[in-house]
Amino acid sequence: MSLQTDLNSIFAITYLTIGIVYGLFLYGFSWTWAMYPQTNELPWLDRCIISFGISLTLQPLIIYLLHVTILLAPSLEGVWFIDLTTTVITIIVYAVRRQSLHHRS
């Protein structure tokens, strides 16, 4: 399956775009908000760069650890399942932290 063949269909292009944006950026972006919910903690430029870095680092780390511990294979479904689950968890963490910061202020 080559890159050129994959680009032949609209579905493939959409999948490619979503995959790139989500896998390389959005995944880490949700982590940065969970960790640093306030803008003054991490400026926008830094946040974007770190989002890319976290996508690059934590994504394979989590999938590797789950593969060697609970034998969850990095199949198509496995990768999407783990990624989406962690993203949902980070969003929940962000909401909780944001709420607590709001109450504190």
Partner 1 sequence: MRDTEKVGHKKLVTAAIVFAVLFTAISVYSYLSPYAYFASSDTYRDYYTVQAYLIQNKQIDQDRLYSHQPLLYYYTTIVHRLTNISVFDLMRIVLPIIFSVSLLFFYLFYRELFKNEFIALTGAFMTVIGEQFFYELFQTRPQIFSLVICPLVLWAYCKLYKQPSSWITLSLLIALITALSLTHVFGVLVSIIVLGCLALRYLFTYKRYWQWISIGMLSIILYMITLGRNTLLASVTIMFLTIYNQNNTDLLDGIGLTLRNTLSYLGFFFTMIIAVGGIVLIIDRFRTSGRAVIPTLLILPSCLLFLFGLTMTWLGPVLGYAVILPTRMLVYLWIGAVPLLLYYLQRLPKKILRFSIIGCLLITTGFIKQDADITDLGYILGNETNVLQYITEHNITNSVILTQATSYPLFILLPSELNNVVISNRLFGTINAELDSSLTQRNTKLANEIFYADSAETAASAIEQLIALRSIDPTKPVYIAYSLVKSYNQQAWDSLGFRKQSLDGANLENFDDQKYFRLMFDNNDIKLWRYVPTD
Interface with partner 1 (CB under 8 A): 1-3, 6, 12, 15-16, 18-20, 22-24, 35-36, 45-46, 49-50, 52-53, 56-61, 63-64, 67-68, 73-76, 79-80, 83
Closest CA to 98 of 46, 50, 30: 30
Nearer residue to partner 1 within complex by CB, 86 or 102: 86
Question: Which residue, 36 or 98, is less far from partner 1 as judged by CB?
Answer: 36
Nearest CB to partner 1, comparing residues 73 and 91? 73
CB of 41 to partner 1, least distance (A): 9
Q: 15: closest CA among 91, 76, 89, 86?
A: 76
